[in-house]
Amino acid sequence: MDTPRTADRSTTGRDSSGTSALGDLLLSLVIVLAVTLPTWWLLGLPASHALLPVGGHLGLTAAALQGMRRAAVPRAFGPADRITLLRASMALPLLGLVPSGGELEPGVLWWAVVLASAALLLDAVDGKVARKTRTESDFGARLDMEVDAALLLLLSVLVWLTGKVGPWVILIGGMRYGFVAAGWVWPIFQRDLPPKVRRQTVCVVQGVALVACLAPVIPAGLATTIAGAALLLLTYSFAVDVRWLLRNSASPS
């Protein structure tokens, strides 16, 4: 299912080298380490937890380079793509909180709120930069979408680990991946959906709701209400798109 700006960027050919792309990815790894290592030292978390963000970055690197190889023309990261990489670099350190389970101290949660909020705010920037610099691309849209989806899944897991909300909150982050998995069984779900502001709005609401639930000042009852309302809204949005796909299943792709 589309997430923000999937329809905003059109394919554009840009001559570039793989070395430039690799340099951007290495710089984003430096940012991940620069955020992760001091964080773990200041918050008193085990240093081994830093391995998860690094591993997540290796996965991001592999996926990005594979996506570039599949592109119609050689290309490097554009200005908007670099912002998306920065978003990912701000979010990846949150992976190191997962092994802490339900032992997330208020200081840790506040830091998670800061990092997640920064990643969400930057989400409002990269699409505008792509349009302003006329560097829209299908690859950039895909990268943006995957970072959005991964961040929502990570935030939903962290909200569950706080103990404020039951495991059902993971549906917020997992629904998009379930939609993709459904496409492997029913090809109709692989069809392109018409661009809708609704999807973008709903995606933003999910991120804001999950970050709010992470905040230590939000009690369990209120967090459950916020997460439940966000999940209902997300379910409605998916249901609308599924209905559209089913009604247009006979139309050519």
In a domain, 222, yes or no: yes
Q: What is the pLDDT of residues 184-226, one digit of tens each?
A: 988 888 888 887 889 889 999 999 999 999 999 999 999 999 9
C-alpha to C-alpha distances, 181 to 229, 234, 246, nearest whole angstrom: 24, 17, 17
In a domain, 3, yes or no: no
In a domain, 10, yes or no: no
Q: Is the pLDDT of residue 11 over 50?
A: no
- Over residues 236-240, the mean pLDDT reads 94
Q: Is the pLDDT of residue 91 over 60?
A: yes
Residue matched to tokens 């030292």 = 41
In a domain, 100, yes or no: yes
Q: What is the CATH number of the domain that holds 162?
A: 1.20.120
In a domain, 35, yes or no: yes
Ramachandran assignment for 134, one of left (phi > 0), alpha (psi -120 to 50 degrees), beta (any other):
left
Instruction: Read off the DSSP letter of residue 136.
Output: -
pLDDT of residue 144: 87
Taking all residues of the chain, what is their mean pLDDT, rounded to a whole number? 84
Q: Is the pLDDT of residue 10 over 70?
A: no
Helices (H), the chain: 18-43, 51-70, 79-91, 106-132, 138-161, 170-185, 197-214, 220-247
pLDDT of residue 15: 41
pLDDT of residue 16: 42
Query: How many domains does the structure of the chain reveal?
Result: 1
Could you give the CA distance from residue 141 to residue 157 in angstroms, rounded to a whole number?
Answer: 25
Q: What is the pLDDT of residues 52-73, one digit of tens each?
A: 898 898 988 888 888 777 765 5
pTM to 2 decimal places: 0.85
In a domain, 203, yes or no: yes
Residue with more model confidence, 249 or 228: 228
In a domain, 2, yes or no: no
Tokens of 58: 């290796």
